[in-house]
Amino acid sequence: MAAFAEGLGRPDNIGITAKKMARSYYEKKQVLIIEDLAEMRSQLKSMLERLGIRRIDTTLNGEEAIEALKSKNYDIVFSDYELGRGKDGQQVLEEARHAKLLKEVSCFILVTAAQTVEMVMGALEYNPDGYITKPVTYEDLSARVERILKTKLIFEPINQAIDDGDLTEALDQCDELIKERPKIALPVLRIKGRIYLHEHNLEKAEQTFKSALSIREVAWANLGIAKVRYEQENYEESIEILETLRNKKEKYVESQDWLAKIYEAQGDLEKAQKTLEKAIAESPKAILRQSELARVARLNNDWAVATQAARKTVSLSRNSCHKNPEQYINLVEALQTQIAPSGLRDRRYISTEIMKTLNAIRTEYPDDLSLMVHTYTLDSNTQQKLGKASDAKKLALEARRLIQSAPAEVAIASHVVKSAGECLAETCDKQTLMDFIESKAGQNYLSDEGRESLLQKARSAEENRIQEYIDSLNNQGVEFFEKGKLHNAIEMFDQAADQAAASFSVLLNAVQAHIALLQKEGPNEHNQKHCEAHLKRLSNMPKDDRRYARYAKLSEMFHACLSQKK
């Protein structure tokens, strides 16, 4: 049932009889115990042997368990929830379902001492077949195992057909079982509905879920109809059903995932984000939901939430089958947006986390050249935001070196090459960028539009650098002027004014400083010539410019100085 389960909760009561299962039935079972504590492993094994189970394997941690599941088909898996370092029991179950290492006819039982909401809600989303709470007694174990196996035995023809990939046969077996045992029609209809949804047979799926609701009002059937309405793009009716489910006493977290999908489809990203935030508050260990929240928050430009969700995604992914480098990259990009508005201390913390995350990528994926190049471009962008132009340039050049030295058979993602080009455009001179664009890598990976975009970026970056240079000189000039150091002020203002991009404000500052020196020290041919040159450029100022009055006043003062000279 797992392939079609998707967090639909515990199975309905199917009216299992009290008749004991034969010992010979247990003898055929292949069992795996996943437990890091030797004493608990021994106790579980001893109890299972009392039941008649003989073929028992044990593993000490989640990583060993996954390898065991890959090598052998187990009928029953007992896993402790807390397994020390590495994967926990939920993550073993998650990967077993995701990678289809556990057959539908098999069962997975979590053994746990912790019954926190976070643990229960997280594990439920991957549908374990049951729980056993520590300390485990033989009576509790035998009763639970027997009940689970009886359920599996009833559904075995359906599950076997699903394992064989024959969904038509699985549906036929569902119909047979309903005829034979009408009292358990609800859980069988649940399986049928999921299969029809899986096959995108919306009409049959709706009929099946309505048949279930005609027997009893069950949440999973309402959720099934809401999914059908979503696929039909009947969003308003789907929202009505999902809102009702979300507001029920029992936590039906999956309804919020579907609500978020609908809100996004309707263009209401803010509602989608708030819905995901509420779902995560109820079930914080769901890595895919955290990743989805990070994505939606990015679209909303809510970088604080995007950063928090991306950080949580990376944390949860460390031992998860859903781990991928994009999660790390998303975290870095979210963190980068936090640099500019932060104070010095926060900037230091943020940059440290970025470096730590980039180093984690390099450690985890050292053989992925495209990814390595991307880490250098991200690093370069970070250093730029921190105002470390020299470091940013070195990192951009290292990204270029890796691209140009890549073996012919190794492909690098075109967006990574473009990002490297953008770093070169922002940190290096135009010729360095042109050499990169005209190189073999540039020709192979960059489109004509991409090359023109980089050249435009280089022009903008050069303009920005010149403007930053002008602003720096002007600011120094203002400081000197306010301290009465007129010669130093004039030196700074003149250097700034000599730039073609110098603004009217810079030219006015230069003129004012020259006039102040003329007034203080008397006639000076050098000062006069510079002042005249600046005023000539200022003569192009439109009369409706707010600075025109200042220009007119300074021009009048300059000519007054000349009159005094005569």
Q: What would the pLDDT profile of 173-228 be if each residue is shown by its tens digit?
A: 999 999 999 999 999 999 999 999 999 999 999 999 999 999 999 999 999 999 99
- Give the pair of three-digit tokens for residue 503: 């603004």
Which phi-psi region, left, alpha or beta, contains residue 86 (left: φ > 0; alpha: ψ -120 to 50)? left
Strands, DSSP E only, in 90-157?
A: 107-112, 130-133
- Give the pair of three-digit tokens for residue 184: 């358990």
Please list the ranges in the chain whose pLDDT falls under 70. 1-20, 114-125, 249-251, 342, 565-566
CB-based burial, 189-216: b 16+ in 10 Å, e otherwise: bbbbbbbbbeeeebebbbebbebbbeee
- Tell me, what's the pLDDT at 17? 47
Backbone angles phi, psi at 320, to 5 degrees: -105, 150
Cα–Cα separations (whole angstroms), residue 200 to 197, 349, 458, 461, 557: 5, 48, 50, 51, 83
- Give the pair of three-digit tokens for residue 431: 């010729």
Query: Please, which residues bridge with residue 90 across strands?
Result: none
| E strand or H helix at 56 | strand 55-59
Verify cis geometry, omega within 30 degrees of 0, for the bond prior to 284: no
- How far, rounded to the nearest angstrom, does the alpha carbon of residue 345 sit from its chain's CA centroid? 25
| E strand or H helix at 442 | helix 440-445
Place of tokens 């009716």: 237
- Rounded Cα distance, 193 and 209, in Å: 6
- Tell me, what's the pLDDT at 114? 65
pLDDT in tens, 337-352: 988 776 778 888 999 9
- Give the pair of three-digit tokens for residue 237: 């009716």
- Tell me, what's the pLDDT at 202? 97
- Give the pair of three-digit tokens for residue 468: 């930053």
- Rounded Cα distance, 150 and 215, in Å: 23
Sequence-ordered list of residues with C-beta below 8 angstroms from that of 54, at least 6 positions apart, any chain? 27
Contact status, residue 437 vs residue 454, Cβ threshold 8 Å? yes
| E strand or H helix at 499 | none
- Give the pair of three-digit tokens for residue 526: 């050098």
Sign of CA dihedral 204, 207, 209, 212: negative
- Give the pair of three-digit tokens for residue 64: 């060993």
- Rounded Cα distance, 539 and 554, in Å: 12
Query: Please, which residues bridge with residue 77 across strands?
Result: 32, 108
- Rounded Cα distance, 251 and 533, in Å: 76
Contact status, residue 9 vs residue 124, Cβ threshold 8 Å? yes
First-to-last C-alpha distance (Å) of the chain: 102
- Give the pair of three-digit tokens for residue 277: 């935030």
